[in-house]
Amino acid sequence: MLSNFPRPAHLAESRRHRRRLGVAAGATVALIASVLGTGIAAAGESTSPTTCVVKAGTGAVSVGVAGDSTALAAALADESIPTIYVGGICKGNFTINRTVNVIGGLRANGSLSEKGTAILDGQATDAVISGYNSTVTVSLSRLIIRNGNGFDGGGILNYGSLTLSRSTVSGNTAARYGGGIANFGGSL
């Protein structure tokens, strides 16, 4: 039987070395993920990736289930709210016809993640964000705008003044102009 023979010391040492390397590699990956902010939730971040989290101004945090974006649509329509914080995944098509700031990175507990984002998903039904009023200024920050499918502007259809910062517009299509962003007479 082979099991009765002693194993060479170098094989046992090699196995211990591989184990140490595996632990070190795992720790390194965790450190890099936390530094780069890959979307892996840190301790205390309890936002489920399928919920839509909204805080309108100084109001209470609203957490919708399975991407329910009713609270976001209502906040966008309420002209008394200058800033809306959002987190998680909000599904739908959103019309913005007023001056407003929309900032991603909201956690379900109401705190704002410095490196976090929020996803606005158009579900391939229309433009994700449409702004038809040429007299308003809209600022979108820390958002991922995806999966829009419009005639013009699959991701964003803009007629006003739009500022887009620290955001990604990708995976959108349009039948005519601007798969990502269509800008008609406005500024970007």
Asked, for residue 115, whether it belongs to a domain, the answer is: yes
Asked, for residue 76, whether it belongs to a domain, the answer is: yes
pLDDT of 101-119, one tens digit each? 999 999 988 899 988 999 9
The answer to whether residues 101 and 178 belong to one domain is yes
Note down the domain range covering 19.
Answer: 2-36
The answer to whether residues 10 and 101 belong to one domain is no
Asked, for residue 146, whether it belongs to a domain, the answer is: yes
pLDDT of 139-151, one tens digit each? 999 999 999 999 9
Number of domains in the chain: 2
Neighbours of 33 (CB within 10 A): 13
pLDDT of 58-109, one tens digit each? 778 888 776 678 999 999 999 999 999 999 999 999 999 999 999 999 998 8
The answer to whether residues 19 and 87 belong to one domain is no
Dihedral sign from CA coordinates of 148, 150, 153, 159: negative
Asked, for residue 62, whether it belongs to a domain, the answer is: yes
Asked, for residue 106, whether it belongs to a domain, the answer is: yes
By percentage, how much of the chain surpasses pLDDT 90?
Answer: 59
Asked, for residue 75, whether it belongs to a domain, the answer is: yes
Asked, for residue 148, whether it belongs to a domain, the answer is: yes
